[in-house]
Amino acid sequence: MHGLKIWPEFFAPVLSGHKTVELRQHDRDDQAGDILDLNEVDKDTGLKTGRSVQRYVTHVHTGLGVAEGYVALSMSERKPRQTVPPTKLRLYLSGPMTGYPDDNYPAFAEAARSLRDQGYDVVSPAEDVPNREASWEHLMRHALRKMLNGTQGVVVLPGWKSSRGANVEVAVAKWLGLPILEWDSLRPVSVEAFVKVREVEMERPLFGP
């Protein structure tokens, strides 16, 4: 709690709720959520009148529009709400595996680590795989189930255009309206010319038993 002196002509509008900003010398570490104990003082004598009011700091502003060495404190009778952290964007990794050393798992691991370091919630088909020796169809069904579990976008790794599985994932994402992004820049990819899913590849059930 910060105890501050305030003159009567400023104390009255604070008390009535008409004054919600206090301009002060920036001589302390003011933070949103702090409590200001504003004590009215006589302008001539500098003595406290016995009237005081408490307000919560909701915002702290310095810089543009505020003189150097001063701070503008927005005040409220009510305690400011706790800021709820934004929900992490959930992204699915799609890329080639078949024919790559170690099924390209190192590339998936690197991309997942990089995106998580940037604050994203990453879903990777290269993680939590029950049986890496299972058939392509079984692994594809497993991957699609992961992709469809609340992801908000698909990030494609280098080589995805020549990957049958990645093409299936990108096609499904496109049909569902999910954004498709390059993993290194997170820029949208135009997939119109690159989705190469053939009808013969889609004839086999992907969600069968």
Spatial neighbors of 64 by CB under 8 A, at least 6 apart, are none
pLDDT (tens digit, 9 = 90+) per residue, 114-146? 999 888 999 999 998 777 778 888 888 889 999
What is the pLDDT at residue 195?
A: 52
Residue 95, pLDDT score:
94
pLDDT at residue 76, rounded to an integer: 86
Give the tens place of pLDDT for each residue, 148-172: 988 999 999 999 988 999 999 998 9
The pLDDT assigned to 156 comes to 95
| Contact status, residue 114 vs residue 140, Cβ threshold 8 Å | no
Q: b or e along 111-148 (b: 16 or more beta carbons within 10 Å of the residue's beta carbon)?
A: bbeebeeeebebbbbbeebeeeeeeeeebbbbbbebbb
Sheet holding 21-25, edge to edge: 2-6, 35-41, 48-61, 70-76, 21-25
The predicted structure's pLDDT at residue 207:
45
- Determine phi and psi for 173, rounding to 5 degrees: -60, -40
Residues of the chain with pLDDT under 70: 64-65, 78-87, 191-209
- In sign, the C-alpha dihedral spanning 192, 197, 202, 208 is negative
Angle at 173 between CA 160 and CA 152, to 5 degrees: 105
Q: Would you state the pLDDT for residue 169?
A: 92
- Burial grade of 203 (CB within 10 A; 0-12, 13-18, 19 or more): exposed
Q: Give the CATH number of domain 90-202.
A: 3.40.50.450
35-41 and 48-61: which strand pairing? antiparallel
- Position 79 scores a pLDDT of 60
Domain ranges in the chain are 2-76, 90-202
The listed CATH number (3.30.70.270, 1.10.287.3510, 2.30.130.30, 1.10.10.10) that belongs to domain 2-76: 2.30.130.30
